[in-house]
Structure 1
């Protein structure tokens, strides 16, 4: 612990030397819906925390709903006295914030690896899954891909407007994959990429997607699953900030337009042993088939994680490359689980079902549990789409059905933690019910 503190202290002191104008640092963590919460610390106090002073925040901040409210979940929030819980600084994440009007820093915090981790904190859930896999000699390598839309900064009666083409000042309202869109929006996209790199994120490929104003960013592969999820979370935060600085609004909302494709979170995962051998490629790729079968078996029970809100369910089906059933296939983007063409060393799955606004820690945890379950159960998967275009199993397409499918699933309760599953399902149930507590103008048009 002493060496750990000395490393953190050196990181803070180096940051202060390199950024003498920064007076405050945001200490941030991701809650269940995938929003950052935290506190703004004076840089002098951060140095004390790095040296070993306690860092405490309310435990129940993790339980916040989408709108920031607290729900009664068991005894949490209203019958537990709202206790504090210890957090720790995540080494290597203290970085400058360039999109604010004043010099600022930010640093990730977490309860994992503390004396009393919060069982339902998303980062802790993933940390436990990764630790268990490592003990079994399984070492994942992970890469995220995130799609998002650019909108005009100003909303029109609460509705998004197409981003303005900076060259013509016309609305970018034409769906296309043209490379020219990257050129027209190069200023903001380049700033997003450079800002992400300043956060320590390895940005690779940038793609203009099909939807108007829609783009995709790919990240490099990592043998540290926690860090890979950190990258995805931090990228969302920095991208929103950079977009506002350029006069745009960036959104990872799953389905902002009914008539255009939604935004997804694609996750590439390969599994290696301690010697660096690809476990999925062994024995004529039989473990790959078992892993796929496990993912597909658990997928219908993980829908509240992959589609975490009402809007995310709108993304499923009816548009390009959005599956309506749990399916798999080789080089097939209509499948939930795609097997990209690769050599045995790089053989992997690409999990394509999650929406872009899903919680990256929980998405990765759910995928890894599916792979782990498949390797243990050793079952054969259903036919791939390459052999049968109708192959697939149904999954829930409404939140309350999805919550019911998740809450009592034995494998998830065992491998993600029963306390997490109960808390998460109740959080999603309460968010969904809260969403229904507003009468839309359409109801008056239809029924008044």
Structure 2
């Protein structure tokens, strides 16, 4: 414990030496909807926390809805006295914040690894899954890919406006998938990439996607699944901040335009044993087929995780590479679970269903549970799309049905935790019902 504290203390002191103008550090964690919450600490107090002083925040901050409100979920929030819960600093995550107007730092905090972890904290849910896999001799290697849109900083009566292309205001003039669009928005994209690298994130490929002002940025493969999810979460925060600095608004909203493709979170996962052998490639790739079958079996029950809000369900179907059924295929981007071409050493799945605004900790936890379940059940998957274009199983396409499908699924309750499943499902149900409590202009046009 002393060694751990000394390492943290050294990290804070080194940061203070390298950034003497930083007076405050944001201590942040991801809540259930995927938003950061936390506190802004004076750097002197952070040093005390690193040395062992308690770090406590309200337990129920994790339960906030999309708009920040609290819902009555079991005895939480309104019948529990709103207790504090211990958090700890995540080593290696203290970094400068370059997109704010004043010098600032940020550092991740979490309840996992404390004496009483919060069972429904997203990072703790993933931590339990990774720990269980490690005990079974399964070591995931993970890489995230995130799509997002750039918009003009100012909204037009609450609606997004296309990002102003330096050469044209017409969205149809933006060359989709062309390298030229990367040059047109090169200044802000370069800053996003460099800022992410300053946060310790390994940025690799940048792509101009099909939608106007839409881009995809890929991260390097990591043998630490938790760190991979940390990267995805931190990238969203820094990208939004950098965009505002350049006069844009960056959004990971799943479906901002009905006429253009939505934004997804693609996750590459391979599994290795302790000796570094690819478990999916053994026995003529039979474990790969089992793992795929497990993913597809649980996928319909994980939809509140993969599509965490009303808008995210709009992304499914009707546009490029967005499935409406649980399916798989080799080198097939229409599939939910794609098997990219690779040598046996790098054989992996690419899970393509989650929306870009999903919670990366929970998305990865759900994917890993699907793979784990498949390896244990040893069932054969349905036919791949390469053999049958109609292959696939249905999954819920609206939130309330999705929540019903998730809440009582025994494998998820066992492997993600029954307490988490109950809390998460009720959070999503209440968010959805709150969203419906507004009459929009179309209803008046149709029914008045």
- TM-score bracket, normalised by the shorter chain, equals over 0.9
SS in 1 for 2:109: strand
1:175 paired to 2:180: no
Deviations 1:197-224 (A, max 9, x none): 0000000000000000000000000000
Deviations 1:224-264 (A, max 9, x none): 00000000000000000000000000000000000000000
Q: Distance in 2 between matches of 1:167 and 1:278?
A: 48
What is the aligned partner in structure 1 of residue 241 from structure 2?
Answer: 241
SS in 1 for 2:173: coil
| TM-superposed deviation, 1:169 | 5.6
Q: Distance in 1 between matches of 2:121 and 2:88?
A: 13
Q: Distance in 2 between matches of 1:128 and 1:89?
A: 18
| TM-superposed deviation, 1:166 | 2.2
| TM-superposed deviation, 1:174 | 4.2
Deviations 1:362-409 (A, max 9, x none): 000000000000000000000000000000000000000000000000
What is the aligned partner in structure 1 of residue 207 from structure 2?
Answer: 207
Q: Distance in 2 between matches of 1:3 and 1:166?
A: 52
Q: TM-score, normalised by structure 1?
A: 0.99
| TM-superposed deviation, 1:176 | 1.3
**Would the aligned equivalents of 1:24 and 1:41 in 2 still touch at CA under 8 Å?**
yes
SS in 2 for 1:401: helix
Q: Distance in 2 between matches of 1:434 and 1:291?
A: 37
| TM-superposed deviation, 1:173 | 5.9
**Would the aligned equivalents of 2:174 and 2:181 in 1 still touch at CA under 8 Å?**
no
Deviations 1:303-353 (A, max 9, x none): 000000000000000000000100000000000000000000000000000
**Would the aligned equivalents of 2:267 and 2:352 in 1 still touch at CA under 8 Å?**
yes
**Would the aligned equivalents of 2:264 and 2:356 in 1 still touch at CA under 8 Å?**
yes
Q: Distance in 1 between matches of 2:219 and 2:105?
A: 22
**Would the aligned equivalents of 1:173 and 1:213 in 2 still touch at CA under 8 Å?**
no
- Correspondence 1:112-261 to 2 at 5 A: 112-168=112-168, 171=171, 174=174, 176-261=176-261
Q: Distance in 2 between matches of 1:6 and 1:340?
A: 43
RMSD: 0.8
Q: Distance in 2 between matches of 1:148 and 1:189?
A: 12
1:324 paired to 2:333: no
SS in 2 for 1:350: strand
Cα gap change, 1:169 to 1:443, in 2 (>3 Å): closer
| TM-superposed deviation, 1:12 | 0.1
| TM-superposed deviation, 1:168 | 4.4
| TM-superposed deviation, 1:119 | 0.0
Cα gap change, 1:169 to 1:400, in 2 (>3 Å): closer
Q: Distance in 1 between matches of 2:170 and 2:159?
A: 18
**Would the aligned equivalents of 1:164 and 1:172 in 2 still touch at CA under 8 Å?**
no
Deviations 1:164-185 (A, max 9, x none): 0124465576461111000000
**Would the aligned equivalents of 2:210 and 2:261 in 1 still touch at CA under 8 Å?**
yes
Cα gap change, 1:405 to 1:383, in 2 (>3 Å): same
**Would the aligned equivalents of 2:119 and 2:419 in 1 still touch at CA under 8 Å?**
yes
Q: Distance in 1 between matches of 2:56 and 2:170?
A: 49
Q: Distance in 1 between matches of 2:320 and 2:308?
A: 20
**Would the aligned equivalents of 2:295 and 2:371 in 1 still touch at CA under 8 Å?**
yes
**Would the aligned equivalents of 1:162 and 1:172 in 2 still touch at CA under 8 Å?**
no
**Would the aligned equivalents of 2:171 and 2:212 in 1 still touch at CA under 8 Å?**
no
What is the aligned partner in structure 2 of residue 296 from structure 1?
Answer: 296
Q: TM-score, normalised by structure 2?
A: 0.99
SS in 2 for 1:78: coil
SS in 2 for 1:416: helix
Cα gap change, 1:366 to 1:140, in 2 (>3 Å): same
Q: Distance in 1 between matches of 2:253 and 2:168?
A: 26
| TM-superposed deviation, 1:127 | 0.2
Q: Distance in 2 between matches of 1:347 and 1:168?
A: 42
Deviations 1:21-53 (A, max 9, x none): 000000000000000000000000000000000
Deviations 1:45-90 (A, max 9, x none): 0000000000000000000000000000000000000000000000
**Would the aligned equivalents of 2:309 and 2:432 in 1 still touch at CA under 8 Å?**
yes
**Would the aligned equivalents of 1:163 and 1:172 in 2 still touch at CA under 8 Å?**
no
**Count of aligned residue pairs for this structure pair:** 448
Q: Distance in 1 between matches of 2:363 and 2:143?
A: 12
What is the aligned partner in structure 1 of residue 346 from structure 2?
Answer: 346
**Would the aligned equivalents of 1:172 and 1:213 in 2 still touch at CA under 8 Å?**
no
What is the aligned partner in structure 1 of residue 100 from structure 2?
Answer: 100
Cα gap change, 1:174 to 1:92, in 2 (>3 Å): same
